Structure 1
Amino acid sequence: MSGSSPAMASLEPGLTGSLNRVQTNPSNIPVPPHHPVPHAQTYLDELISIPKGSTPGFSFRKLWAFTGPGFLMSIAYLDPGNVESDLQCGAVAGFKLLWVLLWATVLGLLCQRLAIRLGVVTGKDLAEICYLYYPRVPRILLWLMMEIAIIGSDMQEVIGTAIAFSLLSAGRIPLWGGVLITITDTLFFLFLDKYGLRKLEAFFGLLITIMALTFGYEYVMVRPAQTEVLKGIFLPYCPGCGREELLQAVGIVGAIIMPHNIFLHSSLVKTRAIDRSKKEEVKEANMYFLTESCLALFVSFLINLFVMAVFGEAFYHQRNEDVHNKCVNSSVSRYASIFPINNETVSVDIYQGGVILGCYFGAAALYIWAVGILAAGQSSTMTGTYAGQFVMEGFLQLRWSRFTRVLFTRSLAILPTLFVAAFKDVSQLTGMNDLLNVLQSILLPFAVLPVLTFTSLRPLMRDFTNGLPGQVLMSLITGLVCAINVYFVVDFLPTLRGLGYLIPLGLLLAAYVAFVAYLVRAEGGWGVYEGGEGVTLLQPPTSAPLPPALDVQHRARSAVPGQGTLQPVQFRCQH
């Protein structure tokens, strides 16, 4: 670019040195007007101010100002799918898989750390960066993968909430009725942000507190052997475990680390007013957000531990006949018929889990369990809707009104859930939950690989680029997840009879591996961003060859003064 202009393009805060200043504006690139352009109201419009400390060092006052996004993110670690995975692991493996829960949470923290850094340093979320970086076809495929992940997660969350309504009403509210109630109250709760972002974050904090109290109550009632619990957490082995336990272990990873949650967290951290022109403020924000995420995921780990330990202590390898007899003589005897009189190991889900607690420890345990499931389902349904909204807005660059976007994203995810609720009974949903957890594990690379790619780009992240050890560690973890996924698909293929199943699944497996390989090696494109007074260009790495053709669409939109966010002037590579 050449020429002259009185307006000096300012670097986007936080990208100091990584984006070249553009001092001129060629005639074919319009200079953005220097005044705010009205835009749709979203959850991210309100920025929380950060107190300026006069003394260096850690400040609890600042930590409190940054507290919020990490706890909203942690709700995905506590949804009904996680709770069901926890209780099934406890019933199947006792305390043997508690260490998997611990390390899955640590792995989740590493992924969330990348999301934090990307959002804080660039001022844009993962979906927006994907839109600017990848060509059209891979970008659309990534969006579809995330929509599938969101729909799968939403099915678990909404059905879990519906089951809670059924338990609280003693079966008077059918599954489909609970789904309709959940749809309605979720839309109502989503507009709580009109009363302030901090109030919304406090509401989510209340729901997490309810989960901690209710599931903690069950833990105190059952009183698991603490020595065995500690051994299960810190000794990474599983004596006598087979394929069923391995499937549960993979289900834990899929339930704990949800792909769309990485996209969500990279959006949530944009709600704090950070001066990205100051490296120290960006570094400080990364530190406080990571500290908050550590605290939030520690709380989520304890809550998941409560559930897994309760069922590992009280219901490990329990027989259907034993549970049936116990229920017949309990205050919730009406539920005894759901357990057949045989010697098979009882199969539990969040519905039967609540019933079993009621049979063994009284009706209060059942209703307290249902309240905990209701809090888990309601909170995760709301954050899942936000994730769907951010993913769709980022990948598709939607410019709809807020109500239209919320309604559209909610409908896209909820229709499959309504179909399942209408044609499935509660007792038929356990196997579906296992498959949905494995689905999340299969789709995980499509979130981890992009965020790892972007946070490893020095022209984008500059001083906050991932170090080589971090890149190697995350690459190994992603490779391990992909290998486990391929193993399960290959292991599953022999159970299918006939080429009619084998050929399509084989093609899907080949496409999966090919797309993952593409994401590993993709060089992508380059985005143009607006600074405060002009246009700032995100340069490609010097070693990256220019693509054969550039489709440049310059549609400049002014940045809202004082918010310090990046706004794209679309500049995309089409290969």
Structure 2
Amino acid sequence: MPSHTEENQRLLDSRHEDEEERAYDSTEKVQIIGVDEGADADEYSTKAPPFSWKKLWLFTGPGFLMSIAFLDPGNLEGDLQSGAIAGYSLLWLLLWATVMGLLVQLLSARLGVATGRHLAELCREEYPNWARLLLWVMAELALIGADIQEVIGSAIAIKILSHGVLPLWAGVIITALDCFIFLFLENYGVRKLEALFAVLIATMAISFAWMFGETKPNGGELLLGVLVPKLSSNTIQQAVGVVGCIIMPHNVFLHSALVQSREVDNRKIGRVKEALTYYSIESGIALAISFMINLFVTTVFAKAFYGTEQANSIGLVNAGQYLQEKFGGGFFPILYIWAIGLLAAGQSSTITGTYAGQFIMGGFLNLRLKKWLRALITRSFAIVPTLIVALVFDTTESSLDVLNEWLNVLQSIQIPFALIPLLCLVSKEEVMGFFKIGTFLQVISWFVAALVIMINGYLMVDFSLRRSGVLFTVLVSVFAAAYVCFVVYLVAREINFSSLRGKAKTTFGV
């Protein structure tokens, strides 16, 4: 029979394992409440404290990590193709797609702050086992698709910067090691990791702003492109790509977890209001910066290739070389400026992918794994297929373009399985309490979600119609039927529960 000492040690070990389930350990949370000097403990239980620049600084970080998903190599490829094929005409759509993305991310942050739990954890509690497991599989597939694009983009940059000495597969292996950097920095506190991302975002901003200055896009056409909506039949596919790249399924899960890196007493309405205010400001700033970076890339390629023969064949693999041939070397060759920005985008997005993977797996499955082991498993899901892709397609640009199309479709079909649970949960009083979103915001949010889902649906249909074969048609038809049934289930389940809640209030007055 174990002694009291042994039993106590076993309980302590078990508690330590439970604490390690979260990527953001409670001991690493940034302290916020202590900033209010001399404030009464209950003074801000229902109202938010006055605005403080110091507090804004303390809350700054999660929004910038979230914004990386708006700047990953998949987005950069969408930007350059939009600029090369549509010129400046889709800049307005880039702006409004970023605004829609901000709305979704603010709802995700609201869920995390108000409940103290992230989206994957709440989905585990909200849905029956079969639906929960299916949602987890969909989230993992979306993450794998995004990660393959991010790792490939980073590997392309490494190949350029090494003058071709390091092939694509070597770049994939190098990029795979970034999860160890992530684990190393995390051990020194979340602020160190956020500082790394600040450096990477600054690197992207400087690189693409430098390219903008070198190519000198037309300012008048740029302004018209941002302010005047314009869409033609020739640019519909690029328009779909612009919107489809902005809202990433794994990023919806990620932001609801990142906001919990700050110590917020969610039992006090005032404290939650305060946190949501600061998170809204910093997320808005972060996405404004991401919009400017995307705008730089789009306008550079609009100036360089719009109306040219290369416009329809440009992609991540050959974009740098095309720029070099167009604008030459200069003080610093534009090929390497492009590669540095692409490398920063790839490295930062793969690290956030590792974060998202940990939250998704831990939340849906409630796994008790050490952080390094969970990171290794998460990275393997993406690195193994990416390494195969790199070995097969290392020298074939057209094959990589086809692969990218498949990956875009893979991520597009996962959008409803992140947006619908999010909107359902933030609309529930029993989940959100005082912070349940109102009717007006519900209508706007569901409209945005429906618009994004329809746009991505168009991408899926267009992709399927461009493929032929009886077997492919049969498989797509079966999958589409099952897919629609699951989406309908998720929506109908919420409508049914809302109806039951309404009847309960009418009958019992609660």
Q: Is the 8 A contact 1:441 1:481 kept in 2?
A: no
Which one-letter code corresponds to 1:265 in the other structure? H
Change (3 A) 1:314 1:361: same
Q: Secondary structure at the match of 2:369?
A: coil
Look at both structures and tell me which one has the larger radius of gyration over its CA atoms: 1
Alpha-carbon shift at residue 440 of structure 1 (Å): 2.4
- Aligned ranges for residues 35-50 of structure 1 at < 5 Å? 37-39=15-17, 40-41=19-20, 42-45=22-25, 46-50=28-32
Q: Is the 8 A contact 1:274 1:282 kept in 2?
A: yes
Q: Is the 8 A contact 2:244 2:455 kept in 1?
A: no
Which one-letter code corresponds to 2:63 in the other structure? G
Q: Secondary structure at the match of 1:317?
A: coil
- CA offsets per residue over residues 303-341 of structure 1, 9 Å max, x none? 000000000111112225xxxxxxxxxxxxxxxxxxxxx
Gaps of 5+ in 2: 1-10, 40-48, 506-510
Alpha-carbon shift at residue 180 of structure 1 (Å): 0.8
Change (3 A) 1:234 1:434: farther
Which one-letter code corresponds to 1:399 in the other structure? R
Alpha-carbon shift at residue 483 of structure 1 (Å): 2.8
Cα distance in 1, alignment partners of residues 379 and 466 from structure 2? 36
Deviates more, 1:407-416 or 1:387-396: 407-416
Alpha-carbon shift at residue 34 of structure 1 (Å): 12
Aligned to 2:423: 452
Tell me which of 302, 320, 323 is aligned to 1:357: 323
Aligned to 2:345: 376
Which one-letter code corresponds to 1:521 in the other structure? A
Aligned to 1:310: 300
Which one-letter code corresponds to 2:175 in the other structure? T
Aligned to 2:150: 157
Q: Is the 8 A contact 1:175 1:421 kept in 2?
A: yes
1:248 paired with 2:238, answer yes
Change (3 A) 1:175 1:48: same
Aligned to 1:417: 386
1:89 paired with 2:67, answer no
Cα distance in 2, alignment partners of residues 184 and 262 from structure 1? 25
Q: Higher helix proportion, which one?
A: 2
Aligned to 2:8: none
**TM-score w.r.t. structure 2 length?**
0.88
Aligned to 1:74: 67
Aligned to 1:431: 402
Aligned to 1:389: 358
Q: Secondary structure at the match of 1:237?
A: coil
Cα distance in 2, alignment partners of residues 437 and 69 from structure 1? 26
- Aligned ranges for residues 126-137 of structure 1 at < 5 Å? 126-137=119-130
Aligned to 2:435: 464
Which one-letter code corresponds to 1:308 in the other structure? T
Q: Is the 8 A contact 2:23 2:358 kept in 1?
A: no
Change (3 A) 1:164 1:487: closer
Change (3 A) 1:515 1:389: same
Cα distance in 2, alignment partners of residues 99 and 131 from structure 1? 38
Which one-letter code corresponds to 2:413 in the other structure? I
Alpha-carbon shift at residue 43 of structure 1 (Å): 3.3
Q: Secondary structure at the match of 2:206?
A: helix
Alpha-carbon shift at residue 412 of structure 1 (Å): 1.2
Q: Is the 8 A contact 2:148 2:386 kept in 1?
A: yes
Which one-letter code corresponds to 2:15 in the other structure? V
Q: Is the 8 A contact 2:424 2:494 kept in 1?
A: no
Cα distance in 2, alignment partners of residues 502 and 160 from structure 1? 31
1:180 paired with 2:173, answer yes
Cα distance in 1, alignment partners of residues 324 and 465 from structure 2? 41
Q: Is the 8 A contact 1:259 1:440 kept in 2?
A: yes
Q: Secondary structure at the match of 1:37?
A: helix
Change (3 A) 1:489 1:405: closer
How many residues end up aligned between the 2 structures?
473
Cα distance in 2, alignment partners of residues 374 and 107 from structure 1? 27
Which one-letter code corresponds to 2:104 in the other structure? C
1:292 paired with 2:270, answer no
Q: Secondary structure at the match of 2:266?
A: coil
Cα distance in 1, alignment partners of residues 357 and 479 from structure 2? 25
Cα distance in 2, alignment partners of residues 219 and 174 from structure 1? 29
Which one-letter code corresponds to 1:417 in the other structure? T
Cα distance in 1, alignment partners of residues 345 and 503 from structure 2? 48
Q: Is the 8 A contact 1:385 1:406 kept in 2?
A: yes
Which one-letter code corresponds to 2:36 in the other structure? K
- Report the aligned-residue RMSD: 2.3
Cα distance in 2, alignment partners of residues 376 and 496 from structure 1? 32
Change (3 A) 1:101 1:210: same
Cα distance in 1, alignment partners of residues 465 and 348 from structure 2? 40
Q: Secondary structure at the match of 2:263?
A: coil
Aligned to 1:519: 490
Alpha-carbon shift at residue 37 of structure 1 (Å): 2.2
Aligned to 2:6: none
Aligned to 1:216: 209
**TM-score w.r.t. structure 1 length?**
0.78
Cα distance in 1, alignment partners of residues 387 and 72 from structure 2? 18
- CA offsets per residue over residues 504-548 of structure 1, 9 Å max, x none? 11111111111111111225999xxxxxxxxxxxxx957589xxx
Tell me which of 94, 111, 118 is aligned to 1:125: 118
Cα distance in 2, alignment partners of residues 493 and 38 from structure 1? 49
Change (3 A) 1:217 1:53: farther
1:62 paired with 2:55, answer yes
- CA offsets per residue over residues 71-111 of structure 1, 9 Å max, x none? 00000111111111100111111011111111111111011
- CA offsets per residue over residues 462-488 of structure 1, 9 Å max, x none? 211111111111212222233334444
Which one-letter code corresponds to 2:314 in the other structure? V
Change (3 A) 1:167 1:237: same
